[in-house]
A = this chain, B = another copy of it.
């Protein structure tokens, strides 16, 4: 008992050390998760941040509204009527619109000829009529005309593409050499009179300063881009739908967009150049894309 009581301080010390170790390991495991994230973001500091936008996929039931009209409780309803065409007219209009859109191709050979700014304003106004989840209109269209800004955009994108292609070459050198030559250099980023960079606003701000989640923001902004592509085709301008995935955050900083905006698409816009070519692709016939029942 004497031995025991003389050892008491030792026991207590050992136990204190044990508690200390347990507490520390707890904190470390927390830190470890954090530092892993830090490491990841080091290798591509912008990628993880950009991929954090999962608001489109993990919608909580409580706030998800099936028909996108969640914020209407206090809004008056007004009568609605639409243009009414005869059946023959409808068939004719639908056919002509299909024929117009069917001539659209993704074109990378864009002329540097100027295009009236008013046309660009109007096609973006057309895109802005798109529906959006709870009428949040979560889009920002950045229209770049300034040659210096366009060139900086090109530098950022080609730098990233170069990394992508060089990484690729390790595995698939022979096959990809051909692609390398055509794809890495994006001359249209300098030549096109306009670059339209489309940002999705992944959240908004409530009056109390808290974040307001924009549900379905990616779907909404993509739908708006569909309308934009149709509007461009309607005036005889061409573009190529591009997704400069790894460049988003750097381009966001360059264009001084806030952190709640993420780059979704970049569209170089102009007339096609005289020697423009497109790959000889066909589209799936109706019976491969439609099922009627």
Binding site secondary structure of chain A: mixed
Contact yes or no, B121 A290, CB < 8 A: yes
- Closest residue of chain B to A265 (Cβ to Cβ) is B219
Contact yes or no, A98 B82, CB < 8 A: no
Contact yes or no, B255 A293, CB < 8 A: yes
Contacts of A37 in B (CB 8 A): none
Contacts of A129 in B (CB 8 A): 98, 101-102, 104, 283
Category for how many chain A residues contact B: 35 or more
Contact yes or no, B101 A126, CB < 8 A: yes
**A269 CB–B CB distance under 8 Å:** no
Report which A residues bind B (CB closer than 8 A): 1, 4-6, 8, 11-12, 15, 18-19, 22-23, 26, 44, 51, 53-54, 56-59, 61-62, 64-70, 72-73, 75-85, 87, 90-91, 93-95, 97-98, 101-109, 115-119, 121-126, 128-131, 133, 135, 137, 139-146, 149, 157, 161, 163-164, 167-168, 171, 175, 178-179, 183, 186, 216, 218-219, 222-231, 234-238, 240-246, 255, 257, 264-265, 271-272, 275-281, 283-284, 286, 289-293
